[in-house]
Amino acid sequence: MAKSKETDHTAVNLVGSGTTIKGEINSKGDIRVDGKIIGEVRSQGRVIVGDTGMIEGDIFCANADFSGKVNGKADVAELLSLKASAVFTGDIITNKLSIEPGAQFSGSCSMDKDAARKQADKKEALKT
C-alpha cells in the first residue's frame, strides 16, 4: 500500500525588515513580519509581528503575537497576545486575549466569536 504524501505546512514565512509587500497574503504555515505588509493577511497558523513589523490591513489566523504596529481588524481563532511594545488600532475578534503592560490598544474587542461574526455580517448587509 502506497503512502500518500502530504505537504509540510510547518514552514515559517518571513517578511524581513526593510521589505514592504502590498496585496493579499494566504498561508497554511506561520508568518513572521519584521517589515511592512499593506493588505489582508490570512494564515492557518500563527501570525507574528515583530518589534519592527507593521501590518495595515485585516488579519485572519489561528494564533497571533503582536510586538509591532497593526492597523486593522484581527480575527484570531484561538489566542491573540499583545506584547509590551505593541501598538494595535482596530477591532479584535478572538477566543482568548493577552495584553502585556505597556501595549497600546485602541478599538473594540469581542471574545464571543459567534456574536461578533453575526454583528459583522449585519454591518456588511447594511452596506449593500
Q: CA-CA distance, 28 to 13, in Å (whole number)?
A: 10
In the chain, domain spans: 12-127
Q: CA-CA distance, 25 to 41, in Å (whole number)?
A: 5
Residue position matching grid coordinates 513589523: 53
Query: What pLDDT is recorded for position 1?
Result: 47
User: What is the mean pLDDT, run by run of 10 residues, along the chain of 128 residues?
Assistant: 52 90 94 97 96 97 97 95 97 94 95 63 61
Q: What is the pTM of this model?
A: 0.81
C-alpha cell at 62: 489561528
Query: What pLDDT is recorded for position 89?
Result: 97
